[in-house]
Amino acid sequence: MEVIPAIDIRGGKCVRLEQGDYERETVFGDDPVKMAVRWAALGATRIHVVDLDGARDGSQANVEVVRRIVQTVDCAVQTGGGIRDVPTLEHTLASGVNRAVIGTAAVKDPQMLRDAVAAAGERLIVSVDAREGLVSLEGWTESTDISALALIDRLQSLGVQRVVYTDIMRDGVKGGPNLAMYERLTASTSIKVLAAGGISSVEDVRQLSEAGVEGAIIGRAIYKGELALAEAINAV
């Protein structure tokens, strides 16, 4: 399993939100590029970069920052936030990003999703963000009555190969990941699953590895020093 540090960008700064709430923001650095260099130096083989402004507003807002991260670090970079059409997806991948993440568009625009699968193949990730098992959209600001499990089944039928599942209520807070959901996902689908939300300890990382997820995306715990990135990487 791959341990993946997260860099969330808002207004050009490296931040973390609690439970997806834009009013509960903590700034961890003015330079996301320096943060990426730090995580790469500690052994990260991949970095997960989210354009929070783009996720909420619908168009990429921190493209230049992401570009500088890609050009500066040697490890792979995957990014999402504000990718709502295929030209933007293709441009993002052409910029040197290893994988691109779409979320809202995968639900609201089925044809765009089909075209994205055809254009990006294995380099496409669909972000499934859920509160109490129901999908949230538009940077987690819009609730739906769509079951996350039903959505993932539909994504698999359309050829999606990889999802990142985020339990929003656990994101940016302690408490551990939703292991029961990850075990259910890996047992019921052939889609590769990346876990995000609530990962706070080496034991969480080990349990996710045992659950069969492909990657664990970690944010708050490594920024606050509660979990050492190198220790998490060595654990798996």
State phi, psi for 30 to the nearest 5 degrees: -85, -10
CB 38 within 8 A of CB 52: no
Q: What local confidence, expressed as pLDDT, does residue 133 receive?
A: 84
The angle that helices 63-72 and 32-41 make with each other, rounded to 10 degrees, is 30
The Cα–Cα gap between 80 and 27 comes to 19
* Higher-pLDDT residue of 204, 11: 204
pLDDT tens profile 128-139:
988 888 898 876
Give me the mean pLDDT over the 129-155 stretch.
86
CB 84 within 8 A of CB 112: yes
Give me the mean pLDDT over the 7-34 stretch.
78
Give me the mean pLDDT over the 94-113 stretch.
91
Q: What local confidence, expressed as pLDDT, does residue 216 receive?
A: 98
Tokens of 97: 């990003």
Query: Read out DSSP for 181-211?
Result: HHHHHHHH--SEEEEES---SHHHHHHHHHH
Burial tier of 119 (Cβ tally within 10 Å: 0-12, 13-18, 19+): middle
* Contacting residues for 102 by C-beta, under 8 A, at least 6 apart: 80, 83, 84, 89, 113, 116, 124, 125, 126, 127
Which residues are catalytically annotated? 8, 129
Tokens of 179: 């292991």
The Cα–Cα gap between 166 and 169 comes to 9
Statement: residue 46 has pLDDT above 90:
yes
Q: What local confidence, expressed as pLDDT, does residue 203 receive?
A: 96
Average pLDDT of the chain is: 90
What is the sign of the dihedral through the CA atoms of 124, 101, 230 and 202? negative
pLDDT tens profile 167-176:
887 766 567 8
What band does 103 get if pLDDT is binned at 50, 70 and 90?
A: confident
Domains annotated on the chain, with CATH: 2-235 (3.20.20.70)
What band does 140 get if pLDDT is binned at 50, 70 and 90?
A: low
Least confident of 8-17, 127-136, 210-219: 8-17
Percent of the chain with pLDDT over 90: 69
The Cα–Cα gap between 236 and 14 comes to 26
Least confident of 47-56, 63-72, 112-121, 133-142: 133-142
Tokens of 171: 């994101």
Taking the CB of residue 118, how many other CB atoms lie within 10 A of it?
A: 11
Statement: residue 16 has pLDDT above 70:
no
